[in-house]
């Protein structure tokens, strides 16, 4: 399947003074959720940040609202998908720390403080960090789940969530590989950003993580104290999906499930004494065999 790249326009406002992160948020006619997301950033962040929005279509008033608020933005008349929009927004970043956030996320107090503190501990830029999602449904091993504090802004139990987030002790975890995701801009550029052949975006997250792995990154860490509530308001049902599972296996010669579970140790408690590795063993050979069948 070929997902055509639409024309993407860019608008750069005045530079955000003293910004720590350049936060990139793709949004597709989801204005109420987007407003809620950005308001939480403005209210619950420890630091000032540059906010960049990619407006897909924007026929629900998103484009006018983003312009009025004075945020940096990119814009396409049709849906650009994840990969094209993330790469376009990254070009407008004015800081060295690029954070990818979904528009259906509400950031909890001090979410950015814990991420920034972790960055300060690193000897170099070869790391990839994720915040920790609180989700109402599912059994994501990296998330705090299932804890339902609402499905949309109208029924959101903010007070209950804030009490819960302040009291819940989530440990750091292995396998950072999806939003809210923080990477150094220099590293993002080095690997070429998100792979646009994965448009509109299925499996673009594990592909980006694999590109970082191939570039030498071995620190894929989820920060337990950096919490965001994920409404799980997905827009993927509106778009014809790419076969990302097949694309990943064909490109990297292993299934994404192997990379997540056996290499990145997805969801396991973080232990600095454990070094991530892609050892040549029986499990690896079996994964290579499975990739052959998935790729057909």
Give tens-digit pLDDT for 172-221.
Answer: 999 999 999 999 999 999 999 999 999 999 999 999 999 999 999 999 99
Residue 142 C-alpha from the chain's centroid? 13
Whether the per-residue pLDDT at 9 is higher than 80: the answer is: yes
Count of residues in the chain: 296
Whether the per-residue pLDDT at 2 is higher than 80: the answer is: no
pLDDT of residue 235: 66
Q: Residue 3 — very low, low, confident or very high, per pLDDT cuts 50/70/90?
A: confident
pLDDT of residue 236: 62
Q: Would you say 86 and 24 are in contact if contact means Cβ atoms under 8 Å apart?
A: yes
Domain residue ranges of the chain, discontinuous segments joined by +: 9-236
pLDDT of residue 233: 75
pLDDT of residue 231: 95
pLDDT of residue 263: 97
Percent of the chain whose predicted confidence (pLDDT) is above 90: 92
Range in 179-193, 225-239, 249-263, 265-279 with the lowest mean pLDDT: 225-239
pLDDT of residue 13: 81
DSSP code, position 144: B
Tens digits of residue pLDDT in 110-162: 999 999 999 999 999 999 999 999 999 999 999 999 999 999 999 999 999 99
Q: Residue 260 — very low, low, confident or very high, per pLDDT cuts 50/70/90?
A: very high
pLDDT of residue 237: 65
Q: Would you say 11 and 54 are in contact if contact means Cβ atoms under 8 Å apart?
A: no
What mean pLDDT do residues 34-55 have? 98
Q: Would you say 199 and 84 are in contact if contact means Cβ atoms under 8 Å apart?
A: yes
Pick from 10, 21, 5: which is nearest to 54 by CA? 10
Whether the per-residue pLDDT at 286 is higher than 90: the answer is: yes
Q: Residue 1 — very low, low, confident or very high, per pLDDT cuts 50/70/90?
A: low
Which H/E stretch holds residue 252?
helix 244-252
DSSP code, position 74: E
Residue 34 C-alpha from the chain's centroid? 15
Q: Would you say 8 and 75 are in contact if contact means Cβ atoms under 8 Å apart?
A: yes
Whether the per-residue pLDDT at 16 is higher than 80: the answer is: no
Tens digits of residue pLDDT in 59-118: 999 999 999 999 999 999 999 999 999 999 999 999 999 999 999 999 999 999 999 999
Any idea which fold 9-236 has? Spore Coat Polysaccharide Biosynthesis Protein SpsA; Chain A (3.90.550)
Whether the per-residue pLDDT at 278 is higher than 70: the answer is: yes
Q: Would you say 254 and 287 are in contact if contact means Cβ atoms under 8 Å apart?
A: yes
Q: Return the ∠ at Cα 110 (arms to 106 and 115), rounded to 5°.
A: 95
């Amino acid at each position: 399947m070929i997902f055509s790249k639409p024309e993407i326009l860019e608008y750069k406002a005045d530079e955000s003074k003293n910004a720590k992160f350049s936060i990139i948020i793709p949004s597709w006619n989801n204005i109420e959720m987007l407003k809620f997301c950005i308001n939480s950033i403005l209210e619950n962040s420890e630091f000032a940040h540059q906010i960049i929005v990619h407006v897909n279509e924007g026929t629900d008033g998103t484009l006018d609202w983003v312009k009025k608020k004075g945020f940096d933005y990119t814009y396409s008349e049709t849906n650009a998908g994840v990969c094209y929009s993330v790469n376009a927004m990254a070009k407008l970043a004015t800081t060295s720390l690029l954070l990818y956030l979904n528009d259906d996320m509400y950031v909890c107090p001090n979410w950015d403080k814990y991420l920034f503190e972790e960055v300060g501990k690193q000897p170099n830029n070869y790391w990839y960090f994720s915040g920790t999602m609180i989700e109402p449904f599912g059994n994501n091993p990296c998330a705090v789940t299932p804890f339902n504090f609402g499905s949309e802004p109208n029924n959101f139990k903010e007070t209950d969530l804030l009490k819960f987030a302040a009291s819940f002790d989530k440990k750091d975890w292995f396998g950072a590989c999806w939003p809210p995701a923080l990477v150094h801009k220099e590293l993002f550029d080095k690997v070429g950003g998100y792979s646009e052949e994965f448009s509109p975006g299925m499996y673009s997250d594990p592909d980006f993580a694999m590109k970082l792995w191939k570039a030498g990154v071995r620190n894929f860490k989820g920060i337990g104290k950096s919490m965001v509530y994920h409404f799980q308001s997905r827009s993927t049902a509106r778009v014809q999906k790419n076969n990302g599972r097949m694309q990943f296996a064909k490109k990297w010669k292993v299934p994404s499930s192997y990379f997540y579970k056996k290499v990145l140790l997805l969801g396991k408690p973080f232990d600095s004494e454990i070094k991530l590795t892609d050892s040549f063993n029986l499990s690896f050979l079996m994964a290579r065999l499975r990739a052959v069948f998935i790729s057909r």
